[in-house]
Structure 1
Amino acid sequence: MRWIAGLFVIAHGLVHLAIWLPKPDQKAPFDVGRSPFAGNVRRLASALAIAAAVILALGGIGLIGDASWWIPVTVTGAAASAALLLLTFNRWWLIGLGINAAIIVLALQQA
């Protein structure tokens, strides 16, 4: 079960790269580089996506390896992901916010 959970955390992190790093598609239903609060945030969003991906990947590796540090790293990665989703908020991100909340709650239960 630890492997599955760790791979899920890693995959969740990698999804951020797939969504925020490619060049924007004009046919997409929303712009991932645009914030409803701050306008154009493409660079900040890309930086947060990279940070969230790296931190979540490290957390997932730590979880798989049963390292003592996986909990704070994973919670930090999920928080970075949540910040990114809130910055570029649209209704599509509700599932991602739920995933981040579940990761945080489940990780903290292991502490």
Structure 2
Amino acid sequence: MITTLVSTFLFVHGLLHLTVWLPHGTTEQPVNPRYSWVLASAGLPQARDGGAPGRAKSRLGESRAAVALASVTTMLYVIAGAATAAQSSGWTAAAVLAASVGLVLKSLWFNPWLSLGVLLDAAVIAAVATSWPGSLY
């Protein structure tokens, strides 16, 4: 039962990364993969890309980087979920890598809407570090 719950959580959390980070057709979305506050603070030139009038957004390359990191995070979480379902010991490494890449992604493109995701990624790392739940080890 625990194995099924953990495996499902890892799958769903991973797949949610793509739904959040892939650019949507609407201009209004809470998370903007085209704007990184860290990269903007570093002085990278901003480009206007047809969003809200007068609102500067980052280059398309930043959007691609965000989507690439989200894709890697999704892939690693799906691998961790599959390894958990197969009761393989490799799920821990995949889960920690997925959570770490997810934290990097959410740090570079932080938005308050991502706070729950940050907590979930940190919880995955903490759970693996403390060997919780014990039935998976």
TM-score relative to the length of structure 2 = 0.75
Residues 62-106 of structure 1: CA distance to partner in whole angstroms, max 9, x if unpaired?
112110111011100011111111111011111111000101111
Does residue 69 (structure 1) correspond to residue 90 (structure 2)? The answer is: yes
Instruction: State how far apart, in whole Å, the 2-side matches of 1:108 and 1:57 are.
Output: 20
Q: Which amino acid aligns with 2:81?
A: G
Q: What residue ranges of structure 2 are gaps of 5+ in the alignment?
A: 41-57, 132-136
Of the two, which has the highest radius of gyration?
A: 2
Identity among equivalent pairs (%): 27
Q: Which amino acid aligns with 1:63?
A: T
SS of 1:23 mapped into structure 2: coil
TM-score relative to the length of structure 1 = 0.91
Does residue 20 (structure 1) correspond to residue 21 (structure 2)? The answer is: yes
- CA, structure 1 residues 101+24, in 2 after alignment: closer, same or farther (shift >3 Å)? farther
Count of aligned residue pairs for this structure pair: 111
Tell me which of 43, 49, 54 is aligned to 2:70.
49
Structure 1 counterpart of 2:80: 59
Structure 2 counterpart of 1:97: 118
Q: What residue ranges of structure 1 are gaps of 5+ in the alignment?
A: none
